[in-house]
């Protein structure tokens, strides 16, 4: 086993695409919990609309960022050989499935607020925490996409 950093193939001028994109959907989907709680406390329909957009953009952005991550997982042998990389992908796809259902729930009933939406937001946030821990471990523990030459 080598201690050399693992180079990402899905990168622009040496900058890996997946970590560039993933912060936005993570922020949207964690913000969704805040928007839902704000609606519960204020009953202001503004927060229901914010929730619809956060769930939609979080899901779409997550799937896009996930495609870049999937590219690295499939194409880079040293990432493919990491058990933690597959576990990270698995948790991420489960998170996105929940976030997509959360968006659909709000899209079908754009004016109302469904308590199931808050439940899905909380479950998504819990999964994001675990997925992010695994993703962070890949960067800080296995040096994926890290450049130490300069």
Partner 1 sequence: MLWLLLLHISAVLCWCGSLLYLPALIAGTASQQTAIGLQRHQAVTIMVFSLFATPAALIAIASGTAVFITGRIVEPWLILKLTLVVVLVVCHAVVGWMLLRTLTAPYKTVTLPCVLLGAAVALLIPAIVWIVLTKPF
Identify the helix (H) or strand (E) that includes residue 15: strand 15-16
43 binds partner 1 per the rule CB under 8 A: no
Size of the site for partner 1 (CB under 8 A): 25
140 binds partner 1 per the rule CB under 8 A: no
90 binds partner 1 per the rule CB under 8 A: yes
Sign of CA dihedral 74, 76, 80, 85: negative
Among 9, 94, 122, 143, binds partner 1 (CB under 8 A): 94
Among 8, 16, 39, 100, binds partner 1 (CB under 8 A): 100
Backbone torsions φ then ψ of 16, nearest 5 degrees: -60, 135
Taking each helix axis from N to C terminus, what angle separates 45-75 and 17-42, rounded to the nearest 10 degrees?
Answer: 160
CB of 8 to partner 1, least distance (A): 18
């Amino acid at each position: 086993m080598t201690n050399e950093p693992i180079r990402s193939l899905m990168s622009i001028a040496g900058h890996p695409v997946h970590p560039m994109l993933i912060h936005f959907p993570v922020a949207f989907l964690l913000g969704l919990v805040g928007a839902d709680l704000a609606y519960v406390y204020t009953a202001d329909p503004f927060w229901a609309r914010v929730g619809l957009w956060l769930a939609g953009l979080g899901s779409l952005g997550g799937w896009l960022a996930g495609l870049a991550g999937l590219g690295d997982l499939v194409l880079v042998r040293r990432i493919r050989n990491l058990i933690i990389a597959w576990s990270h992908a698995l948790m991420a796809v489960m998170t996105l499935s929940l976030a997509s259902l959360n968006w659909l729930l709000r899209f079908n009933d754009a004016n109302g607020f469904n308590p199931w939406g808050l439940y899905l937001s909380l479950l998504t946030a819990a999964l994001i925490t675990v997925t992010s821990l695994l993703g962070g471990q890949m960067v800080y523990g296995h040096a994926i996409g890290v450049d130490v030459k300069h």
